[in-house]
Amino acid sequence: MWLWPGCRQPGSVGDPRGPIVVGVDGSAGAAAALDFALSEGWQRGCPVEVVTAWLGSGHLDDSPDSRELAEGRLKVQRMQEDVLARCLEQRTQTPDVRPVVVHDYAGRVLVARAAHAAMVVVGSGSPGSASHQVLGSVAEYCVRHASSPVVIVPAPSRLEGRAAANAQGI
């Protein structure tokens, strides 16, 4: 069987034994993605990597101050812990959870971690985003570059808007 260069064998998309990688940025869409990832992780019996990436102000001049990076990391870790705690308190069963915080562009981090993952899960982005009407930029980056399946979970506000439109017959 002939395959495009760089393609894997049919049926080899994602590593079913690998973790589920989920991007968390504090948004409602990311919280919905985390909830989905935790459910899937429990059902599949695989760990969930909760990944939060950030770019501090020092990335613009290539000379981030170590104090500034440490403060940024601490702030991001606290946000991630808060989101994770809120999501876990509603669950009776949880998979193994592995928090990861990285100073880099979120799309690049998620795609790199997806290399040996069962899937990548991200929120769809802001409904009113001017640059990306359907997907957020991180979701779009993952769809274009990840080697594992990408699941995009709509933000609750998108679902509410869709339900309202359906109720009105639009």
What would the pLDDT profile of 42-88 be if each residue is shown by its tens digit? Answer: 999 999 999 999 987 555 555 667 888 889 899 999 999 999 999 99
pTM, whole model, 2 decimals?
0.80
**What are the sequence ranges of the domains in the chain?**
20-57+64-167
* pLDDT over 50 (residue 4): no
| Residue 91 contacts residue 36 (beta carbons within 8 Å) | no
20-57+64-167 fold: Rossmann fold (3.40.50)
SS3 category, 103: strand
| Residue 78 contacts residue 71 (beta carbons within 8 Å) | no
What would the pLDDT profile of 81-136 be if each residue is shown by its tens digit? Answer: 999 999 999 899 999 999 999 999 999 999 999 999 999 999 987 555 444 455 67
